A and B are shown apart, each in its own frame.
Chain A
Amino acid sequence: MPLNFDLTDQQQILRNMVRTFAEKEIAPIAQELDDKEEFSYALTKRMGELGLFGLFVSEEYGGGDLGYLFYIIAVEEIARVDGSQAATLAAGNSLGIAPIYYYGNESQKKEWLPVLCKGEALSSFGLTEPNAGSDAGASRTTANLEVDHWVINGSKIFISNSATDISKVCVVQAVTGKRADGRNELSCILVPNGTPGFTTQTMHGKMVWRSSNTGELYFTDCKVPKENLLGKRGDGLHQMLATLDAGRLSIAAMGLGGAQGAFELALKYAKRREQFGRPIASFQVNAFKFADMATEIEMARLLLYKACWLCEQHRPFSKEAAMAKMFCSEMYHRVANQAVQLHGGYGLMKEYAVERHYRNQKLLDIGEGTSEVQRIVIARHIGVPGRTL
């Protein structure tokens, strides 16, 4: 097949639909939610009604049965307007729905996916611990099999969508024993919220994603049936890493969409704002900023869509996903910075949406693998010698 850069009509209609939704229903309340650090149940429900949860999940489990790129476009369009709602959507899909869809058994999928795809419930992904961040294999949370139950002890931190009233289940990575080589055996276990011994606490005071939910999780002799194991015992780290590979595409989509949004705000502002008797956009130093931003956004989109295309073709995409995640995030950083610069003092005020872009951008350099970790992943893929991880 020849190269083709056109989106399908279907993808274009979805993009328009999500854009209209974001502009009409999210934009008017985004800053207020951000100010109040408030998670929006209403917007989450609306995203569910529009079918944005589980776009890539097959119809039999209540999904949209559309390709991965559809989902990426949806995240991109929401992030163009608000990072927090994009985070709720991206975490809900990539970290909540995806591991259950890809690794769950039939009864787990039947139990969880239909409600998750409706956006009526959220599932979370419990990997990070206070002492296991970039070093995700260093989890200390333990799960001991006692007769027919796992008994879980430990804690998790920074877990998206884990502590809302509609958070129903968490995929928890825990140490389930020792491997033959002496290293820890890691497995993933589904732990429903509300199970005795499992408590959550919303983390407050974030600089980024203020109206998305981030929780701390505590497990104290928390018992779940042994059937709650996700996939095979010992597959935990592999499942988590594969989930992150695909998840990186959605973080990249947030970078791309966010940069697009910040760019548009800056362009609109700089065409209107006059100083020295001319629109500030007409000063060459500023015009060149826009030329650079537009070019970088175009590059980011090509890289991300190519990574999605590889993913949809079931070809290896881990390297491209890491590249897209790193480039889109760092590109958003540069664009948001210039977008604020072009706004002058007004860009520092919460009244201007560009201020939120400037803050929200920073998460993308850190979450789901820091930029440094992406470089480690890329270096390993291209065969740079030496110990990379």
Chain B
Amino acid sequence: MKIAVCIKQVPDTTELKIDPKTNSMIREGVASITNPFDEYAVEEALLLKEKHGGEVHVISMGPPQAVEVLKNALAVGADKVYLVSDKAFAGADTLATAYTLSKTIKTVVGDFDLVICGKQAIDGDTAQVGPGVATRLRIPQLTYVSKVREIDPEKKRIVVERLLENGREVVEASLPALLTVVKDINEPRLPSLLGIKKAAKAQIPTLTAKDIGAEENHIGSKGSPTWVTKIFSPEPRKGGGEILKGELSEVVPLLVDKLMETKFIK
């Protein structure tokens, strides 16, 4: 089985600082890590490879220092890694990023069986890139996957569980397919010393826009219709809640009345 995994380097912080002039993230002075959800994606790919054989190809689009996350992927056991990096990619939104990644997957991985992404990146939190890649590759997308129940590379069939707000959904799809995964799916392994040494020696190939045959007007800021006018952290909600006390039969109608009053329900 040939599995492609897309990973992103993100700042290691829960307290993002935004430059008010450019509306972009301030990355200076913040250490970088692999997007935590992507670590689950890599782990799932490694687990599937261990069970069914095959290869794990890991791709990251980003600035040159994103090789760090690829070295990490090598250290845990990825077979091949690629950095997709070019000044022309700068300023990409989710649309341009999805285009660039899908082009890369077609170029370097070719006849893949599966693409795995994290459910979202902790910096932008859009959750759009995975589905965008699937759309451009014209393959089924299975988002928020918490378990791969069955996978049959011969019969080109996969069954997964999706973790949704109101429960779990079991979905079957044909292969190749794209999964985005949530934290429940596995426990990412730690790199081995052997892996760390392998990673240190590895020469990581860098692919440019030309290498993946990307069209100029689909990449970077040119290929990005998104216009960020303002980024801000929403104010925490003011005023505490109200606790309704009494018998269930009394408080439920009271609650419904209150919710209707505030137009939360109609």
Contact = CB atoms under 8 A, between A and B. Distances in A.
B68 A9 contact: yes
A388 interface: no
A13 B193 contact: no
A10 B199 contact: yes
A13 B199 contact: yes
A8 interface: yes
Interface residues of A, number: 15
A13 B75 CA distance: 8
B23 interface: no
A64 B191 CA distance: 13
Contacts of B68: 9, 12
A21 B191 CA distance: 10
A16 B73 CA distance: 13
Contacts of B196: 10, 13-14, 17
Nearest to A25: B190
Contacts of B200: 8-10, 13
B191 A17 contact: yes
A195 interface: no
Contacts of A14: 193, 196
A66 interface: yes
B192 interface: yes
Given A10-B199, A13-B199, A64 B71 contact: no
B72 interface: yes
A127 B139 CA distance: 68
A309 B191 CA distance: 25
A70 to B, nearest CB: 9
The interface residues of chain A, by DSSP majority, are classed as: helix
Given A9-B68, A9-B71, A64 B199 contact: no
A5 to B, nearest CB: 15
A295 to B, nearest CB: 16
Interface string A319-333: 000000000000000
Contacts of A13: 71-72, 75, 191, 196, 199-200
Nearest to A14: B196
Contacts of A17: 75, 190-191, 196
A50 interface: yes
A282 B26 CA distance: 22
Contacts of B193: 14, 50-51, 55, 64, 66
A17 B196 CA distance: 10
A20 B76 CA distance: 13
Interface string A16-33: 110011000000000000
Contacts of B71: 9, 13
Which of A8, A16, A51, A55 has the largest number of chain B CB atoms within 10 A?
A16
17 contacts: A8-B200, A9-B67, A9-B200, A10-B196, A10-B197, A12-B68, A13-B72, A13-B191, A13-B200, A14-B193, A17-B191, A17-B196, A20-B190, A21-B190, A50-B193, A51-B192, A64-B193
Interface of A: 8-10, 12-14, 16-17, 20-21, 50-51, 55, 64, 66
